Structure 1
Amino acid sequence: MVDPRTYVDGVPHELLAALRATSPVVWVEEPPLLGLPGGPGFRLVLRHADVTDVLRQPELFSSWLGATQVRDPSSAEDLGYVRRMMLNLDPPEHGRLRRPVARSFTPRAVAALEASIRANAAMLVDRVLGDADEGVFDFARDLAADLPLLTLADVLGVPEADRWLLYDWSNRVIGFQDPDYAVSAAFDARTGTEAAREALRQRPAPGPDGRMPDPRSRAGMADLYAYAHLLAESKRRTPGRDVMSVLLAQRGEERLSTEEFENMFWLFAVAGNETVRNGLPGAMIALLEHPAQLARLRREPALFDTAVDELLRWWTPVMVFRRTATVDTTIAGTPVRAGEKVVVSFTSANRDERVFAEPDRLDVTRHPNPHLAFGHGPHFCLGARLARCQLRALLEALLARTAGVSYAGEPAYLRSNFQRGVKRLPIRWRRH
């Protein structure tokens, strides 16, 4: 369960189902792996009802005490720094940072972005297909990587020319366990802004062992933080309606400290990109694995209203999140001691037979669908509407322009026990 190499071959759904059937909570050891030290172990929460119980009780299961990544930060200094991230705060501090940002993700705000998202999706699909009647492309790289970058550039206020910086940052953070991604350098500085080139001068270099510094430490992402401050200078001179301008305009108790601002930029630049980027090829894989459902969606595009949530449930891009018990307590009758790590499995909860009939089967008409791909409770994903919009726009654009899609090779999965990532997804398509 903790070895990232397991997930190169796919999620062990059969193991999760077997564990879920015997106990709602299991103890998982954390041995040393891939050059990283071992950990104290954790309680893995497997069933839907218990996952939601943990997530809606921050007074019992804290995001702040140990932060939200399963692996403990390497030092007390690193823990102290990431504790200033909205993702790693508990109420009421969490609400202080969330409120101003939430105004950028209301239904009205997302509706205003929808036209540009659809236009970008259509542009990307047309670029990939060209004038040919059939062909092969990499769905993960050629389509799924770029749409969330374009969207995030709009939302965050990053110049479009710099958007592939976000791609490299996401790779380094989410893919630090994968040698293909840990030293990602896809961004071409010659095509970006001067701020991007200046930030790249502070990009960390691999150590003697070839490993990059821990991307959860400030030193491990020095180029990201340098860029954040350069962008902030630009926004102070010429504010816009983007999230960065909104944050910089806050006063009073909602004013961000330097550490909070840096962490907020990290959160949007990485988390705002990565979940959609992996949810998109995951949705494509779900449809390719269920050709009857794909055919039905082609015939009845109105089913996208329910299909998008079912695709997210079936794939579940973020597999786990961590909390820390604040006091001695219990989960589904299982004793939990104060200070113990409690890790909720969204992957397991989204296949829980107690909630979802035939959970391993994709059903684009499934309703209701209380999946947990966006989390639950105070930390429910702010960008959920935006993510749904992007999935729908790209898949609709592709299906509208093709008569058939199929595998052109085996997908390649990310070596990660956190993000269910797709590195390559070769697709064969035809127009008629």
Structure 2
Amino acid sequence: MTVIDEKTTTPVVPDDIAQQIVLPEGHVDHDKLFAAYQWLRENMPVGKAVVDGFDPLWLVSKHADIMEVERNTDVFTAGGHEDPGSHNPILSNQAGDAFTKSLTGGSLRIMDALPYLDPPEHTEVKDIAGAWFRPANLKQWEDQIRGLAREAMAKYLKPGVNEIDFIEDFALYFPLHVIMTLFGVPEEEEPRMMKLTQEFFGVADPDLQRNDVEAATPEAMAQQFAASFQDFCGYFAGLVADRRANPRDDLSSLIANARQPDGEFYPDSYAYGWFMAISTAGHDTTSATITGCIEALAQNPEQLAKVQANPELIPDLVNEALRWVSPVKHFMRRARVDTELGGAQIKAGDRIMPLYQSANRDTDVFDAPTTFDLERKPNKHIAFGYGPHMCIGQHLAKQELRIMFEELLPRIKSIELLGGRKLTQTNFVGGIKRLPVRLELTD
């Protein structure tokens, strides 16, 4: 039976489907989650979800509709044009948004970071380090990143049989070490950055709760998010001051010393926003993709044999791993004007949730999307988003993934999944958080 929103006479997504996707706990069961995505694509590609404790929102599940949302920032805002701070690009419940407003004096823009900005401000701030992240510039870091990959393997893996939790004992460390090295952050600070990142992205995960936050209530989750952000800012304040006084040839100096068109430094909050985005999403998403790829290769040994026999396929493997994992699950948008999307009538002020994982399983774009196929071509995944908000770090992430697989895959004799796999309880950014494996390596 179709349920109707009594206020608008609009059909709404069935409760079980809506809750599976909107609630963080729905993301710990991939089978049910991806079945919910499929139901949406087949029955209500742009569907209105009404979930207790959340503002009503539109779930956008098809690849083409999400691309339309992402490219059209004049209609679908990330942070607000006329009223900056009126919208949270990271889905939070009503209690969480209310707590955020209590901290900021009424704004939902808790940080001056790219996901919260719209053009032209977004364009100006992105240009601070845009050139640094281009492939031509990243080539200079190739040898150093390869050295870090070899260092990680030597430190955390040994020849012969390794019975490990692949992500906890190995995959978490390499991307973090890369980004902190490029930032110029001392290695001894990396455990602190790791802890803060896990708390920041794991606000809804009981395993990742801070000690100074009580229960996983809506208010507590918002409190953990804010507390982690403040801890990051406390560290970054010292980094900004140091790089302005003693600039170096590193990414943090470039960001800290960026100036506005009038010649003045950007407010420190913009540097904090840059550092937050890079030091969190810059490694958590990459470690999730490495882990998801290893799991897929363990489940598809013929694919492992194929890429080992032909290492030139590794860039294709990277793209398929990104499609398969899609570690960034959403960034919220808000309609600025009345509009139509995928046959649905969207009203000004409505919230929109693009579902990137769902888009990357869309049969209109991908043949056999539930099959892991490293030779998939074309592979038009949108794991990095699309349009102006397309991830600025995408080329660095692909470079890290390629180098790690070039170093690791030739040494793998076998991968056996041991059971006990667990997923992070989050509807935002995350993937596998436990993957016990028996990994046999050559000398």
* TM-score (norm. length: structure 1): 0.88
Counterpart amino acid of residue 277 in structure 1: S
Q: Distance in 2 between matches of 1:168 and 1:333?
A: 43
**Cα deviation 1:73-101 (Å, max 9, x = unaligned):** 33432735426222111100001100011
The match for 2:354 is 344
Counterpart amino acid of residue 10 in structure 1: H
The match for 1:2 is 22
Give the deviation of 1:222 after TM superposition.
2.4
Give the deviation of 1:25 after TM superposition.
0.5
Report the RMSD for the aligned CA atoms in angstroms: 2.0
Pick one of 137, 141, 144 that aligns with 2:164. Answer: 137
Q: Distance in 2 between matches of 1:109 and 1:125?
A: 26
Contact 1:138 1:426 in 2 (8 A): yes
The match for 2:3 is none
Give the deviation of 1:208 after TM superposition.
7.8
Q: Distance in 1 between matches of 2:215 and 2:313?
A: 53
Q: Does 1:330 align with 2:340?
A: yes
Give the deviation of 1:341 after TM superposition.
0.6
Counterpart amino acid of residue 49 in structure 1: A
Pick one of 167, 171, 187 that aligns with 2:198. Answer: 171
The match for 1:187 is none
Aligned pairs for 1:192-207 within 5 A = 205-207=212-214
**Cα deviation 1:58-84 (Å, max 9, x = unaligned):** 110000131311215334327354262
Q: Distance in 1 between matches of 2:44 and 2:215?
A: 44
Pick one of 61, 68, 77 that aligns with 1:62. Answer: 77
The match for 1:128 is 156
The match for 1:301 is 311
Contact 1:207 1:213 in 2 (8 A): no
Q: Distance in 2 between matches of 1:375 and 1:215?
A: 26
Q: Distance in 1 between matches of 2:138 and 2:72?
A: 29
Contact 1:128 1:137 in 2 (8 A): no
Q: Distance in 2 between matches of 1:14 and 1:144?
A: 28
Provide the secondary structure at the position in 2 that maps to 1:338.
Answer: coil
The match for 1:153 is 180
Pick one of 355, 360, 365 that aligns with 2:370. Answer: 360
Provide the secondary structure at the position in 2 that maps to 1:214.
Answer: helix
CA gap 1:282/1:71 in 2 versus in 1, 3 angstroms? same
Q: Distance in 2 between matches of 1:22 and 1:297?
A: 37
Provide the secondary structure at the position in 1 that maps to 2:203.
Answer: coil
Give the deviation of 1:17 after TM superposition.
1.2
Q: Distance in 1 between matches of 2:243 and 2:51?
A: 44
CA gap 1:224/1:417 in 2 versus in 1, 3 angstroms? same
Contact 1:135 1:429 in 2 (8 A): yes
Aligned pairs for 1:6-405 within 5 A = 6-10=26-30, 12-31=33-52, 38-65=53-80, 66-71=87-92, 73-74=97-98, 75-76=100-101, 77=104, 79-82=107-110, 84-130=112-158, 132-183=159-210, 205-207=212-214, 211=220, 214-217=223-226, 219-253=227-261, 255-405=265-415
Give the deviation of 1:343 after TM superposition.
0.6
Using the TM superposition, name which of 240-249 and 334-343 deviates more.
240-249
Give the deviation of 1:316 after TM superposition.
0.8
CA gap 1:30/1:243 in 2 versus in 1, 3 angstroms? farther
CA gap 1:425/1:168 in 2 versus in 1, 3 angstroms? same
Q: Distance in 2 between matches of 1:44 and 1:14?
A: 14
Counterpart amino acid of residue 17 in structure 1: Q
Give the deviation of 1:214 after TM superposition.
2.4
Give the deviation of 1:220 after TM superposition.
4.6
Counterpart amino acid of residue 430 in structure 1: E
Q: Distance in 2 between matches of 1:25 and 1:264?
A: 32
- Percent sequence identity over matched residues? 30
Q: Distance in 2 between matches of 1:59 and 1:212?
A: 31
Contact 2:162 2:439 in 1 (8 A): yes
Give the deviation of 1:117 after TM superposition.
1.5
**Cα deviation 1:169-217 (Å, max 9, x = unaligned):** 1111110101111228xxxxxxxxxxxxxxxxxxxx2248894662443
Using the TM superposition, name which of 93-102 and 21-30 deviates more.
21-30
CA gap 1:252/1:177 in 2 versus in 1, 3 angstroms? closer
Structure 2 residues not aligned, in runs of 5+: 1-20, 81-86
Counterpart amino acid of residue 148 in structure 2: N
CA gap 1:358/1:208 in 2 versus in 1, 3 angstroms? closer
Contact 2:206 2:216 in 1 (8 A): no
Q: Distance in 1 between matches of 2:199 and 2:283?
A: 13
* TM-score (norm. length: structure 2): 0.86
